[in-house]
Amino acid sequence: MIKKKKPSLKEKEKEKKRIKQQEETEIQQVVNHFFMSKGLSLKEIKKSAKKRKIIYSRYTRPAKQLLELAGSVEKAKRAITIVADWANSRKLDYAIETVFKKWLELDRLKPKEIVKKPFYDDQPLVWSKTQRKWYLITEHGDWLEFADEESKIEWRIAG
């Protein structure tokens, strides 16, 4: 019968350290993905962390919790991306903790749709469903029937 060699104390410590390093890299991936969703490159993140503009350690605990909640780095990154798209479309700020708060709603979080409105000569247009015509609204509030071609209508993002 062959006896298995028990790992020494040093070998156990090395194994713990290896697992911890692997865990740190996963946490770093999540934190870096969060900053990249904010529009920073990896180089900018490192530069800001050195200058203490970003306190990197402040984001490691929430990233670790998110990893535990999500189960994998890919799922955590996907959740951050969904929340980032949702928040950016509404011009909201967000943190890793926002992902926790929105965790149960992730499948329902959609970016805000971009609404384009019709204009002609910098005057707003309104579509009348009953009369099936475009009307131009003047500065004085008068409604004038639109008589030009529909190709001349300019569509702008409402904002």
Residue 62 has pLDDT above 90, yes or no: yes
Helix axes 9-37, 42-50, angle to 10 degrees: 110
Show the domain range for 126. 116-157
Who's near 56: CB < 8 A, 6+ residues apart? Answer: 31, 45, 49
pLDDT at 34: 92
Are residues 94 and 60 part of one domain? yes
pLDDT at 122: 80
Are residues 126 and 97 part of one domain? no
Residue 2 lies in a domain: no
pLDDT 10s digits, 68-104 = 999 999 999 999 999 999 999 888 999 999 998 999 9
Distance separating alpha carbons of residues 120 and 108, to the nearest angstrom: 36
Mean pLDDT across 91-120: 87
Residue 3 lies in a domain: no
pLDDT 10s digits, 7-50 = 677 777 777 666 655 655 788 889 989 988 988 887 887 788 78
pTM beyond 0.95 = no
| CA-closest candidate to residue 79, choices 28, 30, 130, 120 | 30
Give the long-range contacts of residues 52-57, CB within 8 A, separation 24 or more. Answer: 56/31
Are residues 94 and 38 part of one domain? yes
